[in-house]
């Protein structure tokens, strides 16, 4: 039974990540009916929307919008590709640029909290790694309890940020990107279902990240119980 429960837990946590990767890879094939690349579409949409201060570039750090540098960054396969995945993900990242231009409150909060979460996560890992050393030096539980509280609390900040991110991602996919693609006739009617799946996967990336963060907290708790 413990093994079955462990496998079930792993499936619940890692399942969304596998699903997201499968959906994206399934629609990564270039299609002759798509007239331009993901990068070209992103540039075109930004121009159409009169968002003139945002640039588009290729990156090896994953598809994202950088509100500090004012750049839509696309992985090479989506920047240069003519696939449904490239088109949908490019539009999704432009959706974040629209949120930034509109000063969407939740988007602004997410941007601030992400930087805070990066710092607190590093602090949390240091605190958790220091627990055995501090326990060996002081031989009393209070410092270890304090470090455990700091460590787990810091990691939970990352979970909270991921939860805040989900509605931001959903908005970028279905309130921004999809209407642009459908109304602008950048995709054919027969492709709309597939594009919806891709946009859902783009938003679900952060659900997968949230579950991975929860798994990370659980992993540290398991290690410290030994």
Q: Which residue has the tokens 């990066």?
A: 118
| Alpha carbon distance 77, 8 (integer Å) | 33
| Alpha carbon distance 215, 24 (integer Å) | 23
The structure tokens listed for 133 are 């050393």
66: β partners: 71
Residues designated catalytic: 93
Distances in whole angstroms, Cα of residue 33 to Cα of each of 18, 73, 78, 191: 28, 24, 16, 11
Query: Are 215 and 108 spatial neighbours (Cβ–Cβ below 8 Å)?
Result: no
Terminal Cα-to-Cα distance of the chain (whole angstroms): 21
Rounded to 5 degrees, φ, ψ at 127 are -60, -45
Q: What is the dihedral of CA 174, 177, 180, 181, to 10 degrees?
A: -100
Q: Which residue has the tokens 């993900």?
A: 89
């Amino acid at each position: 039974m413990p093994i079955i429960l462990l496998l079930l837990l792993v499936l619940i946590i890692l399942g969304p990540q596998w699903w997201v990767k499968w959906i994206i890879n399934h629609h990564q094939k270039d299609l002759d009916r798509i007239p331009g690349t993901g990068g070209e579409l992103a540039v075109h949409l930004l121009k159409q929307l009169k968002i003139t201060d945002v640039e588009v570039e290729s990156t090896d750090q994953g598809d994202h919008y950088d509100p500090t540098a004012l750049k839509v960054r696309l992985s090479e396969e989506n920047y240069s590709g003519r696939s449904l995945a490239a088109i949908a993900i490019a539009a999704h990242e432009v959706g974040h640029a629209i949120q930034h231009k509109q000063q969407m409150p939740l988007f602004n909060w997410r941007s601030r909290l992400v930087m805070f979460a990066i710092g607190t996560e590093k602090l949390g890992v240091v605190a958790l790694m220091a627990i055995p050393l501090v326990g060996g030096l002081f031989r009393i539980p209070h410092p270890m309890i304090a470090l455990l509280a700091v460590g787990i609390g810091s990691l939970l900040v990352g979970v909270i940020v991921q939860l805040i991110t989900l509605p931001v991602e959903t908005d970028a996919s279905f309130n921004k990107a999809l209407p642009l693609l459908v109304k602008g006739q950048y995709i054919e009617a027969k492709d709309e279902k597939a594009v919806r799946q891709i946009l859902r996967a783009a938003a679900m990336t952060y659900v997968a990240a949230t579950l991975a963060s929860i798994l990370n907290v659980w992993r540290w708790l398991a290690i410290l119980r030994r």
